[in-house]
Structures are given as C-alpha cells and as structure tokens.
Structure 1
C-alpha cells in the first residue's frame, strides 16, 4: 500500500483532479478512462451522486493503479467512514469539520477540507489536513491564492469551483498545487453523446494548461 505522501504527490502530479458529480453510473467508467488517458491523475466521485459508494469501489478496482480515486462532497464523519470503507484514497469536503478531518487522518487517508478564509486555512492545517480546497475558487480568484500563500506558504492549496480552461493557468501561477475541475471538464453533453475521445482531448488540454507552470 502506498503511503499518503506518495498518493498525494501522485494525485496532484497532473495538476488536475476531475470532479465527477451526478453522472450516470453506467457512464462513469468510460469517462474515468477518458480522463486518465488524457493525463488526469486525480478522480473524485461526489457523495451526492447516484450509488457513490458502489461507483467509488468499482472505479478504484479498475483504475486504482492508474490514478488516485477518492470521494468528494463529504459532509461529515459518517460519510467519510462510508467512503473510506468503499476504498476512497482521499476525502474532499466543501466545508471544514474537525470531526471529519480528525477521523479521516486517524484512518491514514488523505483529507482535503474546503476553506474560504486564511483563518480556516490555518485551522485546517492545525487539525491535520493534508491540503486545503479553496472553495468556491471563482469567488476569491487567483490573486487571493497569491496573497495568502505569502504568510501561509506551508499550506498547499487546491482551488475548486468555477475553475476552467481560461483561468486554470492563472490559479496554478498563483501557487495552486492542483485544481479541482467539475462541469467545465465533466462535460454533460459530451457524456450524453458518449464522445469519450473528445473528453480525453479536453482532459489533455487541462493537464497541459495546468502543467505550464509546474515546477
């Protein structure tokens, strides 16, 4: 079993974590395959999706050696517990819950809570979070990341929410280690059309944009 640091490094190595929310469970596997073939190294299945635990388990079994697979929109300790039991490599939350952070770390699983202020970033770090999810990132913008990364340079940041092909480069330039990409990558009409090659190309574009400023 890989340790957390290796998993974390691997998850962010492409600069992109795909946020798969409420996609038809039948289409998740080909979608994940398209993203992985496009270079994406982090796959998040949100807990408000249909049969999320089953999907996490299946995706982890099939693609766990090619990407880091985890759960998103985890609202509390109970959901974290279920997701970890299903095999989630990481827990992403839109909020900051001490109980969820501490439980997840006790299980030796990557924990990335959602934060919106420097104080929340600091608290998340104190509680043991591996990284923070700046959410919703489009409200704060790249300049926020750049400014807070001065005094809080030891805290790794992943902007999520409203990050797209036009602004992902700016977020990475401002100090993000990776970006969580939802609807602009997990493209509804392309999924409906089952245009997996177009989705693979889209993933590739995101990875290239994110990689422009990677050290």
Structure 2
C-alpha cells in the first residue's frame, strides 16, 4: 500500500528536483533549499561522491509520512544503473529509484521491495517493456530531445503509460508538458546552476517556488 501512496504523492507534487553536486553536504544543502521552496520530491543522483551519505542524512530529516509539513519530503535516488545500487540506496532511506535507462533487474528488485521505480526510456518499445515489467511511471529521458507533443503520440498506442519527462524541462515549457499529459516533471540543472555559480543556495529555494507555482497553475488550467 505504501508504494501506491508514494506514487500518488509524487504525482500530486508533480515536480522532482534532480540534484547533483561535488559533495554530499552540497547536495543536502541544495535539497533543503529546494524543499524550502516547495519542491518536496528530491532525487539524489548516484553521480554524487558518497551519495548514500546525502540520502541517509536527508531521509533522517524528512519523511513522506511526516505530519509536520516542514519535515515532509520524499527522498529518492537517481542515476541507478543496477540492482545492487538500488538496494544500497533503499537501505540508506531512498523511497524511490530512478534510472537513466531500463534495467530489468533493477525493476525486479524494486518491485520485490515495493519501491517505486522510474526507469529512463526513449522509445515506445522501451516504454512497453517497462510496463510489462510492472513500472508505474516511466522517465522520458533525455527530455530535451523531444517536444511535449511526443507524449500525445506515445499515448496513442499506450494510453496507460504514465510519463515523466526529465531534461530540458524549464519554466517556459513546464505547462506545455503538463498539458500534453505528463504526470510529473524532473528538473535538473536549471534549478541549481545559478546557485552553484554564485554560491548563494537560497536561489534554489526561489527557483523551486517558481516551479511549484508553475506546476500548480498548469494543473489548475486542466481542471
């Protein structure tokens, strides 16, 4: 039941912060600022040195079941290439797993432990394979290779597919992706680049607030 609830919360929140950095502390600070700004779904990529330390620290502070709104956040792991990495991240507190590609063994492990898994896909064939493996949300990656209209094309033969574009999503096109049928979006460098250049991590909170508001407005326009 928790897996279903997590998927519902992820799609309700709608914006996933994909965080990279040079150190675990840097990523934790970026995550805290993103959460402060309203993005409550945090993906720490395994390209971060000692990424599991960042996941563990964030998981001890935030929880998807927290009653205190300031402590509510869903902490997950990204850039997962294999089941071994997925299991290590889950044991460190990760509540969802994201990969850049479709790895059946990783999906099987996540299904075994009832953890939401969002593998990267580029083609209808890969999306169909993901659905057959029991994936609930597929990551369309890299999103910057596509236009939002691709979702309508995919949903022609696969209307049951839940698609989350990642890469190339911006404040300018977020509404277009949601209007096209995306269940959520992943935001990466656009959220953190300015803060990394200036050293002012409060800029992440400001940008996160803009993304959160843009998602809410896009969803409201559909109702």
Considering the TM-score relative to the shorter chain, is it more than 0.5?
yes
Alignment partner, residue 59 of structure 1: 58
Alpha-carbon distance in 2 for matches of 1:136, 1:30 = 26
Q: Which moved more, 1:168-177 or 1:191-200?
A: 191-200
Pairwise CA distance, 1:192:
5.3
Pairwise CA distance, 1:112:
0.6
Alignment partner, residue 212 of structure 2: 207
Q: Where do 1:127-142 residues align within 5 Å? A: 127-142=133-148
Task: Judge conservation of contact 1:56–1:86 (CA < 8 Å) in 2.
Answer: yes
Q: Deviations over 1:87-137 (max 9, x none)?
A: 110010010111111111101111111101111111101101121000011
Alpha-carbon distance in 2 for matches of 1:89, 1:71 = 8
Number of aligned residue pairs? 213
Using the size of structure 2 for normalisation, the TM-score is 0.90
Alpha-carbon distance in 2 for matches of 1:148, 1:98 = 21
Aligned Cα root-mean-square deviation (Å): 1.6
Higher helix share: 2
Alignment partner, residue 69 of structure 2: none
**Which SS does the other structure have where 1:170 is aligned?**
helix
Alpha-carbon distance in 1 for matches of 2:23, 2:11 = 26
**Which SS does the other structure have where 1:43 is aligned?**
strand
Gapped regions of structure 2 (runs ≥ 5): 67-71
